Amino acid sequence: MDLSIIIVNYNTKALTEQTVRSVMDTTSAIDYEIIVVDNSSKEKEYFTMDNPRVKILSRVENKGFGHACNIGTNMAIGRYILYLNSDVIMQNGTLRGAVEYMDKHRDIGCLGIRTLLRDGTFDHGCKRGFPSPFNSLCYVLGLHKLFPKIKKFGGYTLSYLSNNETNEVDSVSGAFMLIPKSVLNKVGLFDESIFMYGEDIDLCYRIKQAGYKVVYYADVWMIHLKGQSGLHTKSPVVIKHFHDGIKRFYDMYYKDKHNFIVTFLMHSAINIRYVIVLLRSKLAK
């Protein structure tokens, strides 16, 4: 089989069904399966679909996004594994084009694609640099906006790279991560100690450490209905998981490379941002 598509449903039944149907409506000429891992907390949100292509793992204990994806991966039979968000809409030929591109470029360990938001604007999360201390500082100070074409200042958002051109990058979004199963067998699956957010960057980091490329592929695309799930729901629990994920990524890969002052400043910045985002979410209610 060419492709195993892993989708996690957590209380997003309608969105998940829309995503699954968009995959089936736009994909041909490749052999694929869809595995829905359902860790919903509400019975009315349990995902159901009677289709031979769709396998459903229901009532999975919710131990985070990575844990659910790993369960789906362990039963997948495709040459490639696609981690796909439950709030996306696939376009005609996208999955076939992505698989064919991977077949021609065996040095790629992870592929992300051009992703647009519902209003047609670019979703910058689909191509990113790693959040090193310097990249994070430039991002917080807004230098990537003041000097969008200067590589030094756009290290996190990669603002100096055209959205319409395929390029090697550091990280792509967990909304669409296409990875050869053979690569996952070498580098391992998602880090389950990260409940949600940051697990995609961590996996990309390990893939690059193993000598593979992470590539942003601009020739195919999808729509990401951001705001329907995840951080944009303004849930205090989700906001905390997001900032915990950022902190854990820093501690795993950068803490030992910098002195305690840099670590203190990074942790303080993450904690301050957490408080600000939390307050904004409460005021918005």
pLDDT beyond 80 at 271 = no
Question: What integer pLDDT is reported at residue 130 of this predicted model?
Answer: 92
Rounded to whole angstroms, how far apart are CA atoms 50 and 126?
32
Q: Contacts from 260-267 at CB under 8 Å and sequence distance 24+?
A: 262/133, 265/133, 266/133, 266/136
| Pick from 118-122, 124-128, 175-179, 197-201: least confident | 197-201
Contact 30, 95 (CB under 8 A): yes
Residue 145 Cα distances to 130, 149, 151, 159, 231, angstroms: 17, 9, 12, 8, 23
Mean pLDDT in residue range 3-27: 97
The pTM (predicted TM-score) of the whole model is 0.90
Query: How many other CB atoms sit within 10 Å of the CB of residue 167?
Result: 14
Rounded to whole angstroms, how far apart are CA atoms 235 and 215?
32
pLDDT beyond 80 at 276 = no
Q: Please, which pLDDT band fits residue 112 given cuts at 50, 70 and 90?
A: very high
Contact 86, 7 (CB under 8 A): yes
| Pick from 29-38, 74-83, 143-152, 251-260: least confident | 251-260
Mean pLDDT in residue range 90-98: 98
Closest CA to 101 of 221, 246, 224: 221
| Pick from 16-25, 99-108, 223-232, 240-249: least confident | 223-232
Question: What integer pLDDT is reported at residue 211 of this predicted model?
Answer: 98
Q: Which residue has the higher pLDDT, 234 or 225?
A: 225
Q: Which residue has the higher pLDDT, 252 or 29?
A: 29
Overall fold of domain 3-127+163-284: Spore Coat Polysaccharide Biosynthesis Protein SpsA; Chain A (3.90.550)
Residue burial 249-268, b: 16+ Cβ < 10 Å; e: rest: bbebbbeeeeeeeebeebee
Question: What integer pLDDT is reported at residue 4 of this predicted model?
Answer: 98
Tokens in use for 134? 């310097």
Highest mean pLDDT among 72-76, 131-135, 235-239: 72-76
Question: What integer pLDDT is reported at residue 78 of this predicted model?
Answer: 98
> Tokens 């995840």 appear where?
230
The domain limits of the chain are: 3-127+163-284
Q: Please, which pLDDT band fits residue 231 given cuts at 50, 70 and 90?
A: very low
122-143 tens-digit pLDDT: 999 999 999 888 888 888 788 8
Q: Please, which pLDDT band fits residue 26 given cuts at 50, 70 and 90?
A: very high
| 149: DSSP letter | T
Q: Which residue has the higher pLDDT, 233 or 249?
A: 249
